[in-house]
A and B are shown apart, each in its own frame.
Chain A
Amino acid sequence: MRNQNHSTRPYPTKAARVASVILFILSAVLIVVGTYGWLMGDWNLESLRHIAAEVYEARRVARSFEQPITGTVDLFGEGRGTVPLRLLSGIMNNAILLIILGITFLVNAIMFRIQPWERMKDFLCVQPALIFFLLFVYYPVVDLVRISFTDMRMLVPDPQEFIGLKNYEWLFFKTGWTRFSESLLITVRYTFWELFITLVGGLLLALLFNRMTRTFAAMRAIVFMPRYIAVATSAVVFIWILHGNYGILNYVLSLFGIKGPNWLVQANTALAGILILTGWRVIGYAMMIYLSAMQSIPQDYYEAAAIDGADAIQRFRHITLPMLSPTILFLFVTTFIASMKVFQSVDVMTGGGPGTATNVVVQWIYNLSFRDFRAARSAAVSVIFFLILLVATAATMRWSNRAVSYDS
């Protein structure tokens, strides 16, 4: 009955048309005002600089004396647009929020014209999450690109100057390239070994612990436990475990007559030292993912193969491995992305050293920002690194469509 009413109602309804017009007007105002604030603040537009300067000064005074921003500013000269500085400061501070709200209203204005109310309700429900994503996930990425075209330095307050492609020129054609290629190579080496530990080590452990007994359940829990410990905490512990003179690892090695290296101090073993921590942390997680996938492989396949005379290796190769391929892909992609972005363990254990032996890309990005205060260069490296990860992930996914079996 309700559906029949709905189908006979003229569409869009009058209420929807009114709402659409109101939202359209609101969106236009928000987008224009927000863009104005954005151009004045983040983009440091030359024609608006004198107004921005008044806002910065008013903010400084207000902050200094812990009072609200006071005074007005004449936007267009000759008293044609006198606006309170407090309002203008608020617009500059919230420019992005205003633009995003404006875009949201615009989308809603259009949707009201083309969608029935029942569908609009669903769309309205997901909008808070969409706004959250736009503001806290996608906008920072966009802003990172903007910063990479400026001369922003962490220590120098606003405003920033636009310098075009200079940061990218430094990165690709000047000294930035030496450090970038070096860091990228170290990161790839690290990633390769973490992938190896996760995919191969995790699989071997999963095969070992693929028993549903209480003892094995307890052992699985023990292996998985390091995942729950904060990286920084375990990194501090591993600094001591790997200490050249007093570390327990070298002590154990010495029991077998092996003289262990000074793990984190020697350039040729520092990355291996970090990978020991990584392995300890990730192998249990990979094992659990593999185990859950193994449990879902129907026993019929194994029984049929056994009847056909397949041995354990053949069963593993022709049943387990193909059936695990989606899991392997999942672990590959998630581990690849996470390991390319490795930072915490490196920062705590070696700080990128000794020398630049463990200076992975994210550590370098961090140092550029917080040690050298070159935020813009740091942003340029981040943008390129982001693109590399994007292309690598997309290529993996494309390749996986051919290689992975989703047959259950």
Chain B
Amino acid sequence: MKRFLGVLLALLMTLSVVGLAAADNPYDVTEPITITWWHAHEDQWHPYLEYMVNRFNEEHPLITVEPVYIGSYTEINTQLIAAIAAGDVPALCTANTSYPPSYGAAGICEILDPYIEAYNFPIEDFGEGLILATSYEGKQIVLPYLISTQVMFYNKTAAEAEGIEMPRTFDEMDAFLEKATLFNEDGTTKRYGTVFGGWDYWYYEMLFKNNGVKVILEDGMSTDINGPESVYITTKMKEWIDKGYAYYAYGTGASTNMRQLFWDGGAFSVFHTSSLYDTYVQNAGDKFEVGMAWLPGGEDGESFYSEIGGATILIPAIAPQKQKNAAWQFMMFMASPEINLYWADQTGYFPTRRSVMETPEYQEYLERKPEMNNVVSMSNWIMPRNSHPAYDTIANEWRHALYRIFNEDAPIQATLDELAMTIEEILEDY
């Protein structure tokens, strides 16, 4: 009897401690609530998104998440800013990995550290690079849930048949392009060696950065965009484009055009995002096998960096606390290992949790998608994006300058000098 009472007492004590802990947690959800999640996931992913939201809603009877598709990452950014100005925000919002630095500087995101602490959320499981990429001044402001990086997709069937090896470093690009490019009898290009995604600086900037270009120097006031390294890379790219080895995809529908060119056999390889691996494979169908290679590294053979891409999820700081609490529950769910792997498997993004990578399910996933190994094995080289709040503005100016050089034959040095002036003037304001 005594033993029974002892056990009962211990049980009651444990329950009361747990209960007290729960009651003390200011971030718990204690009453039914409906929250809105603004996202940028297109139609093809809606079934998976629906599955996850339904599952969350079933597992959390007090919370109902209503996902709303807003549009592209740019559109969702515009809408979020307008919503903040109006003081009427969603509880959760998806943001591209390029936005958190600006959002952090402006105090737009709820600081997640207290939530992480209150729930003992294993944030370290994301790894140092991802934590850095999703923090601002040491504070966690967003969680990564769909992560990708820049890669080169290529026609593996043609590569094997024609003995083409993907370039490991930038100085191997010349030989690679010469071999991968095919010309018609009239001298026009039949198959481009590669296509640079010129509609977004993210797709080509690592060619520069791996060769020593920093864009914004350490002093935060000056740039090396007109320096010798930058001029050299720009000159090489221009040379390849002029020779018909490479195609610079830009303008309306550039992304679609580039993909179609690849699937139609008009391009041997393309610079794009790893998240589209499944799309590339599915659309290539039986025509050819798609390979996925790491970006060519720096000429020194020591820099093989790439940058983080994809989506993060945030809670707007001005949302009511009850909404924030419910939103945090959904964030934890979205970043949980099981959902993390589910998302990765369905979409082509990487799993973001390290613990996922040790599971048998993940090994099975890699066996099904062996090309992912080429990227995952290099994942230590994935670094955060530039966290300067003006970087996006600067990089867009850079994109315009490159467009003028590649398409309007603007003089390289003079154009980059002019760009440097613009960049330094922008930096003066920050």
Contacts and interface: CB of A to CB of B under 8 A. Distances in A.
A157 B422 contact: no
12 contacts: A63-B318, A155-B105, A155-B108, A157-B84, A157-B106, A175-B421, A243-B253, A264-B253, A265-B253, A270-B251, A270-B252, A355-B250
A13 to B, nearest CB: 47
A220 interface: no
A353 interface: yes
Interface stretch (A2-10, A285-293, A369-377): A369-377
Interface of B: 74, 77-78, 81, 84-85, 87, 102-103, 105-108, 199, 250-254, 257, 260, 318, 320-322, 392-393, 396, 400, 403-404, 407-408, 421-422, 425
B146 to A, nearest CB: 22
Given A65-B320, A174-B425, A353-B199, 11 more contacts: A157-B84, A157-B107, A175-B422, A175-B425, A243-B253, A264-B251, A349-B252, A351-B252, A353-B250, A371-B74, A371-B392
A355 B252 contact: no
Given A156-B106, A175-B421, A66 B322 contact: yes
Interface residues of A, number: 34
B321 A64 contact: yes
B248 to A, nearest CB: 10
A155 B404 CA distance: 30
Contacts of B320: 63-66
B19 to A, nearest CB: 24
Nearest to B408: A267
Contacts of B260: 245
A155 B106 contact: yes
B178 to A, nearest CB: 26
Closest 4 CB pairs of A and B: A155-B106, A265-B251, A354-B251, A355-B403
A154 interface: yes
Contacts of B103: 155
A259 interface: no
A154 B81 contact: yes
A350 interface: yes
Contacts of B393: 371-372
A245 B322 contact: no
A153 interface: yes
A266 interface: yes
A343 to B, nearest CB: 14
A350 B102 contact: no
A321 to B, nearest CB: 40
Interface of A: 60, 63-66, 153-157, 170, 174-175, 239, 243-245, 262, 264-267, 270, 349-351, 353-356, 370-373
A47 B388 CA distance: 33
Nearest to A240: B253
Contact of A155 (B81, B252, B396): B81
B321 A373 contact: no
B403 A354 contact: yes
A155 B390 CA distance: 12
Contacts of A355: 250, 400, 403-404, 407-408
Contact of B252 (A350, A370, A373): A350
A243 B260 CA distance: 13
B407 A354 contact: yes
B102 A265 contact: no
B250 A63 contact: no
Contacts of A264: 251-253
A356 B403 CA distance: 9
Contacts of A262: 251
A361 to B, nearest CB: 16
A264 B254 CA distance: 10
A265 B254 contact: yes
B400 A239 contact: no
Contacts of A63: 87, 318, 320
A381 B153 CA distance: 42
B106 A153 contact: yes
Contacts of B257: 244-245, 265
B5 to A, nearest CB: 43
Nearest to B404: A355
A333 to B, nearest CB: 32
Contacts of A349: 252
A283 B78 CA distance: 33
B254 to A, nearest CB: 7
A85 B318 CA distance: 19
Contacts of A353: 199, 250-252, 403
A364 to B, nearest CB: 12
Nearest to A154: B81
Given A267-B408, A355-B403, A371 B252 contact: no
Given A66-B320, A355-B408, A265 B108 contact: no
A320 B375 CA distance: 72
A270 B403 CA distance: 14
Nearest to A158: B85
Contacts of A174: 425
A356 B400 contact: yes
Contacts of B400: 355-356
Given A264-B252, A267-B408, A65 B321 contact: yes
Contacts of B251: 262, 264-266, 270, 350, 353-354
Given A63-B318, A65-B321, A239 B107 contact: no
